[in-house]
Amino acid sequence: MIAKNLVIVGGGPAGLAAAKSAYDCGERDILILERESELGGILNQCIHNGFGLHTFKEELTGPEYAARYIDEVKKRNIEYKLSSTVIDISSDKVVTYVNSTDGLVQVKAKAVVLACGCRERPRGAINIAGMRGAGVFSAGTAQKLVNIEGYLPGKEVVILGSGDIGLIMARRMTFEGAKVKAVVELMPYSSGLNRNIVQCLNDFDIPLMFSHTVIDIKGKDRVEGVVIAEVDDKLRPMPETAQFIKCDTLLLSVGLLPENELAKNASVALSPVTGGAEVDDTMMTNVEGIFQCGNVLHVHDLVDFVSQESENAGACAVKYINEGAEKCEQVTIKCTKGVRYCVPHKLNCDDNFQSLNFKMRVGNVYKKVELTVTADGVKVYGKKRPVVTPGEMENITLNSQQIEQLKKAKEIVISLEGGQQ
Amino acid sequence: MKDVIIIGSGVIGSGIARELSRYSADIVVLEKGDDVSVGTSKANSGIVHAGFDAVPGSNKAKYNVAGNKMFDELSKTLDFPFRRNGSMVLCFDSADIGALQQLYDKGVANGVEKLSVITGEEARKIEPHLSDKVVACLLAETGGIVSPYELNIAYAENAAVNGVKFEFCKKVTNVSKKDGTFEVTCADGSVYHGRTVINCAGVHADEINNMVCPEKMHIVARKGDYILMDKTAGYLADHTLFQLPTKMGKGVLVTPTTHGNILIGPTAVDVEDKDNVSTSLEQLNIVFDKASLTVPELSRRTIITQFSGLRAHEDCDDFIIGESSVEGFYNVAGIESPGLSASPAIATEIAGQVATKLQLKLNSHFTETRKGIPHFATMSNTERQKLIDSNPLYGKIVCRCEMVTEGEIVSAIRRPVGAKDLDGIKRRTRAGMGRCQAGFCTARVMQILARELGEDMADVTKCGGESFIVEGRTK
Ligand SMILES: Cc1cc2nc3c(=O)[nH]c(=O)nc-3n(C[C@H](O)[C@H](O)[C@H](O)COP(=O)(O)OP(=O)(O)OC[C@H]3O[C@@H](n4cnc5c(N)ncnc54)[C@H](O)[C@@H]3O)c2cc1C
Ligand SMILES: Cc1cc2nc3c(=O)[nH]c(=O)nc-3n(C[C@H](O)[C@H](O)[C@H](O)COP(=O)(O)OP(=O)(O)OC[C@H]3O[C@@H](n4cnc5c(N)ncnc54)[C@H](O)[C@@H]3O)c2cc1C
């Protein structure tokens, strides 16, 4: 068994930003473990533009954005291991990883940052009946095949789900000469970013069919078509609206799930809403010394916010290594009236942040609302929004004065006030 | 001239091939798919039935009870996953307790050991997640679970090591007998001659029989849909939980699998197309609703995949086993449930009959045991370290959900009767069988297959035939 102060699991944008900020806070004994053969995480397959507008004030591709952080990590000589998969983490922070050169190694860490990203929800999880041959892919798998391996999954495509990866793949497949016949979305709204709907569908005349779903997949060895139908207001397909679309490929963009099997082994408590850990304002989970950030904590739509959140996690991990955990009161943040969740989930009353960032998602599309934070019923913060949607994460920052008010409260509530659905 | 031509490489054809390989003989197995275990043997409940269900005196009863007893030893000899977890037949209505008692009596008549009828309360002590509506149950301690495709693969690998030839993509289109020898023709034009033919063609066994035998057969494909749940639901059942058939219908089962998932199903619908294994939403909903009666805590959120299998139901409602009226032509047909459970006993019986007929001598080089692919996921850390030391490819994890290494995948391809496609890899190693259902490892496994088989990634299929994964290169 070897010892390390800080082990970071995952070398995507979250892990890289956490490592950089931990180093800048004075920590030198850091190890990043990444199972792929390169750093950069999911960004390596996102070769489209649109990353980094907030952080770098310019539009980068995924690999370009990742490269900036990889450079920072390399400049600081932070140790990282590639093709190294973490297979277990215990609650006393023994991290077990394997690779071909070191074999199986156990590392006893003072602090662990989990930055392992998320995975896609597969076909089975949404119960689509029909043929069981080839031609059904999750959108991210198709993205990897096209952008990393250089292979086209099919020529005539239907996409189920209007998540961002699905939208981006609609455009990508079109560029590669495939015909995208429709994007079919169960809900009456998209779960993707508005800019992606415009740039990836509208610009290419790809129809987006709301309140529709795939009810059957036809074909024998390979997909030969899908049957879609409109759904009623309880999301039940209406058989009389069924129509057949001929295609050889069905892509699924039906949601991402934080990758939390390791966290479960370490007894980290997970939120049933996000699938990620429940963290306090230092990004620490219920297990002392285990931190989370990035898509493993909750699924982000913009990488800039991943980096920001992860820098906080890295800094707080170093503080924990040096000073130990705070033993203080915590206030839980309650989400109501349209707000589904908020990260962090709780505040430590002894923390002294100059500013604090809260990230949240709403459960439906709402217009003309005020995103409100109250402390024991008293409004501390309000932000008017013309429209909020489940597909776009809401991000608010409170100053030290407002934080003080919250820390004194018995109950903090975040809600949407006014407005209509 | 072959001594024996076996048609079909499901558990029946492969099991017989393995038993026959104890003798010195020239044996070939002709399979229309590109791998073994591509028919019914890959999609079923995976239960090693105790044997209380079959009609006393039937072939089903006889071979089931005999087969069941062989599994402990066979699973060690051939190294496939098997566990005697016990079965329970649940009764939800005190008016039906009589039927439960009848089932018990039938079991005793069939020679099933360790049967008892217990109360609902006692049942819930053993299975705490059972519905409180259960009033009584038949407990069969000899019931077990097996990984059906791993059983099938184990039979085939051991047969191949002992000299049996497996020929794939050989769809038999005609069988005839001339001057005492059989001529077997395949769709690709190839012709095989043999002294004997054993028909193990599953749902298609009637077609094969009807090519040579004056006594015609008729097999209906009866489809059963299943839902498979994540290992996180695994705590919900330890025994195999059947529902007692009532006037309301035949019920579905809830069972753990040998790998710790929960499987629920099957339904029963007769279908025209004997190769169509697509699932239907209506049937899947029935499966879930009925299974929830047994274990109310089942949650749709833990579903990871669905599949269906086809029962080969012959009109006579029993296994047809043995030499037909055409000398040297053997039928092993109508092998619906409990075919898996019966397979070791059927294989021994048929191999014995054929060996006697051909006066075969024992094969002095016969290797009885087979060692499976090492499973990194279930090893201790010390064993893992040793394995990586022996071959660094075991240090590369390819499938994250099931923790499958590149070493295992390469082994699956290079073994006798090796994997050639994604599904073949999946059944041998579990890569792609976990909760992300191959979203993560598809590209990686395609690369390894292409490299090992010397093909392009565009030639890689999911399950043979036209099931290509990708269209071709991008621009
Ligand atoms: C297809 C797609 C398109 C997107 N488009 C945009 C966009 O246009 N603009 C934008 O700003 N944002 C976009 N995003 C969002 C943003 O890129 C992601 O939210 C961000 O990459 C998440 O970073 P992460 O580090 O949390 O996760 P990841 O990038 O997934 O990194 C996690 C890393 O952890 C590693 N890992 C996981 N488990 C283990 C283990 N057990 N052992 C070792 N290593 C492990 C993984 O290999 C991976 O490298 C997009 C995201 C996706 C998926
Ligand atoms: C829903 C369901 C649940 C079941 N549950 C259980 C259970 O829990 N326990 C149990 O003991 N049994 C169970 N069974 C039964 C068991 O699965 C079968 O009895 C067993 O798998 C049959 O094996 P087989 O080798 O006869 O058929 P198959 O596995 O179907 O093999 C036949 C092979 O022949 C090949 N073939 C067909 N035609 C040709 C041709 N013309 N030329 C060349 N090859 C051909 C096919 O491709 C196939 O590979 C279940 C069955 C079903 C459908």
What residues contact B195, with CB distance under 8 A and at least 6 apart? Answer: B1, B2, B3, B4, B181, B182, B328, B358
- What is this structure's pTM? 0.93
- In a 13 Å sphere around the CA of B106, the CA atoms on its Cβ side amount to 19
HEC sequence for chain B = CEEEEEECCCHHHHHHHHHHCCEECCEEEECCCCCCCCCHHHCCCCEECCCCCCCCCCHHHHHHHHHHHHHHHHHHHCCCCEECCCEEEEECCHHHHHHHHHHHHHHHHHCCCCEEEEEHHHHHHHCCCCCCCCCEEEEECCCEEECHHHHHHHHHHHHHHCCCEEECCCCEEEEEEECCEEEEEECCCCEEEEEEEEECCHHHHHHHHHHHCCCCCCEEEEEEEEEEECHHHHHHCCCEEEECCECCECCCEEEECCCCCEEEECCCEEECCCCCCCECHHHHHHHHHHHHHHCCCCCHHHEEEEEEEEEEEECCCCCEEEECCCCCEEEEECCCCCHHHHHHHHHHHHHHHHHHHHCCEECCCCCCCCCCCCCHHHCCHHHHHHHHHHCHHHHCEEECCCCEEHHHHHHHHHCCCCCCCHHHHHHHHCCCCCCCCCCCCHHHHHHHHHHHHCCCHHHCECCCCCCECCCEECC
- The residue whose CA has the least distance to atom 6 of ligand 1 is A302
Q: Is the pLDDT of residue A263 over 90?
A: yes
Q: How many CA atoms lie within 13 A of B133 on its CB side?
A: 12
Q: What is the pLDDT of residues A63-121, one digit of tens each?
A: 999 999 999 999 999 999 999 999 999 999 999 999 999 999 999 999 999 999 999 98
pLDDT tens sequence across A392-402:
899 999 998 88
Residues of chain A found within 8 Å of residue B461, distances taken between Cβ atoms: 134, 221
Give how far A91 is from chain B: nearest CA, Å.
Answer: 18
In sequence order, what are the beta bridge partners of A404?
A: none
CA distance B196 to B183: 10
Q: What is each CA distance from A78 to A24, A114, B54, in whole angstroms?
A: 11, 17, 67
Residues from chain B that touch A247, judged by Cβ atoms under 8 A, are: none
Which CATH number, 1.10.10.1100, 1.10.10.10, 3.60.15.10, 3.40.50.1980, labels domain B376-459? 1.10.10.1100
Residue B242 burial (C-beta neighbours within 10 Å; 0-12, 13-18, 19+): buried
- Residue A154 near chain B (CB below 8 Å): yes
**What ipTM was predicted for this assembly?**
0.91
Q: What is the DSSP letter of A145?
A: I
A238 touches chain B (CB under 8 A): no
The Cα–Cα gap between B112 and B104 comes to 9
Neighbours of B85 (CB within 10 A): 18
Nearby residues of A371 by Cβ (< 8 Å), 6 or more positions away: A339, A360, A382, A383, A384, A385, A388, A394, A396, A414, A416
Cα–Cα distances in Å, from B262 out to B227, B255, B299? 9, 6, 11
C-alpha dihedral sign at B349, B351, B356, B357: positive
CA of B288 relative to ligand 2 center, distance in Å: 24
Give the model's pLDDT for residue A191: 83
B354 Cβ contact partners less than 8 Å away, ≥ 6 residues apart:
B4, B20, B196, B198, B330, B360
Distance (Å, whole) CA A195 – CA A184: 18
Question: Hey, are the CB atoms on B469 and A153 less than 8 Å from each other?
Answer: yes
d(CA A277, CA A296): 8
- Of all ligands present, the nearest one to the C-alpha of A302 is 1
| Per-domain boundaries in chain B | 2-41+149-218+316-358, 87-141+220-309, 376-459
Question: Are A100 and B393 a contacting pair at CB < 8 A?
Answer: yes
Supply the pLDDT for residue A21: 97
Tokens of A189: 């709204």
Looking at A43-193, list the stretches that DSSP marks H as alpha helix, in order from N- to C-terminal side: 53-56, 62-75, 139-144, 164-175
pLDDT tens-digit profile of A15-51?
999 999 999 999 999 999 999 999 999 999 999 988 9
Q: Spell out a b/e string for B135-157, using b for 16 or more CB atoms within 10 Å of the CB, else e.
A: bbbbbbbbbbbbbbbbbbbbbbb
Euclidean distance between CA atoms B203 and B225, whole angstroms: 16
Name chain A contacts of B437, Cβ cutoff 8 Å: 122-124
Cα distances (angstroms) measured from residue B36 to each of B42, B278, B399, B427: 9, 20, 23, 10
CA distance B276 to B278: 6
The phi, psi pair for B72, rounded to 5°, reads -60, -50
Q: What is the pLDDT of residues A196-215, one digit of tens each?
A: 999 999 999 999 999 999 99
- Side-by-side strand order, sheet with A412-417: A346-348, A330-335, A412-417, A366-375, A378-388
Contact A243, A209 (CB under 8 A): no
The single residue listed with the structure tokens 């349209």 is A338
**Nearest to A263, CA basis, from A6, A12, A379, A89:** A89
Interface of A with B in 281-310 (CB under 8 A): none
pLDDT at B321: 98
Amino acid identity of residue B435, one-letter, is R
pLDDT score for A421: 55
The yes or no reply on domain B87-141+220-309 and CATH 3.30.9.10 is yes
CB of B52 within 8 A of CB of B106? yes
For residue A357, what are its two tokens? 């960032």
DSSP characters for A244-307? EEE-SEEEE---EEE--HHHHHTT--B-TTTSSB---TT-B-SSTTEEE-GGGTS--S-HHHHH
**Residue A420: predicted pLDDT:** 62
In this structure, what are the phi and psi dihedrals at residue B134, rounded to the nearest 5 degrees?
-70, 125
Can you read off the two tokens belonging to residue B468?
A: 């290509």
Question: What are the start-end ranges of the H helices in A273-421?
Answer: 303-323, 400-408
Q: How do beta strands B262-265 and B219-229 pair?
A: antiparallel
Place of tokens 């809403």: A273
Residue A104 to residue B306, Cβ atoms within 8 A: no
Q: Which atom of ligand 1 is nearest to the CA of A293?
A: 26
Mean pLDDT of chain A: 93
* Cβ atoms of residues B30 and B167 within 8 Å: yes
- What sign has the CA pseudo-torsion B69, B70, B76, B82? negative
Q: Could you tell me the two tokens for B15?
A: 């099991």
Nearest residue, CB atoms, B472 vs list A103, A123, A152: A152
Nearest alpha carbon to residue A52 among A73, A71, A66: A66
The token duo for B198 is 């054993």
Q: Which domains does chain A have, with CATH numbers?
A: 1-120+256-325 (3.50.50.60), 122-254 (3.50.50.60), 326-421 (2.60.40)
Q: Rg for chain A (alpha carbons), in Å?
A: 22
pLDDT of residue B442: 93
CATH topology of domain B2-41+149-218+316-358: FAD/NAD(P)-binding domain (3.50.50)
Q: Is A237 helix (H, G, I), strand (E, B) or coil?
A: strand
CA of A167 to the centre of ligand 2 (A): 42
**What would the two tokens of residue A58 be?**
């310019």
Q: Which residue type, as a one-letter code, is found at position A197?
A: I
Catalytic residue numbers of B read: 49
Which residues in chain A are contacts of B473 at CB distance < 8 A? 150-152
Q: What is the pLDDT along chain B (475 residues), one digit of tens a residue?
A: 999 999 999 999 999 999 999 999 999 999 999 999 999 999 999 999 999 999 999 999 999 999 999 999 999 999 999 999 999 999 999 999 999 999 999 999 999 999 999 999 999 999 999 999 999 999 999 999 999 999 999 999 999 999 999 999 999 999 999 999 999 999 999 999 999 999 999 999 999 999 999 999 999 999 999 999 999 999 999 999 999 987 766 889 999 999 999 999 999 999 999 988 999 989 999 999 999 999 999 999 899 999 999 999 999 999 999 999 999 999 999 999 999 999 999 999 999 999 999 999 999 999 999 999 999 999 999 999 999 999 999 999 999 999 999 999 999 999 999 999 999 999 999 999 988 888 889 999 999 999 999 999 999 999 999 999 999 998 7
- Ligand 1 lining (C-beta closer than 6 Å): A 9-15, 33-36, 41-43, 46, 50-51, 85-86, 115-117, 140, 143, 164-165, 168, 259, 262, 294-296, 300-304, 306
Helix or strand or coil: residue A411?
coil
CA distance B48 to B82: 9
Sign of the C-alpha dihedral computed for residues B445, B11, B378 and B235 taken in this order: positive
Please tell me the distance from the alpha carbon of residue B9 to that of residue B273, in angstroms, as a whole number.
20
Tokens of B368: 């009885």
B47-48: strand order across its sheet: B47-48, B144-146, B82-83
Q: Provide the number of CB pairs (under 8 Å) joining chain A to chain B.
A: 152
A22: three-class secondary structure by DSSP? helix
Alpha helix (H) residue ranges in A122-191: 139-144, 164-175
Mutate to test the interface with B, among A82, A105, A107, A141 (most CBs of B within 10 A): A141
User: Which ligand is the nearest neighbour of the Cα of A112?
Assistant: 1
Chain B interface includes A24 (CB < 8 A): no
A323-356 confidence digits (pLDDT tens): 998 788 888 999 998 999 999 999 988 777 888 8
End-to-end CA, chain A: 56
Which residues is B178 bridged to in the sheet?
B181
Distance CA B248, CA B226 (A): 20
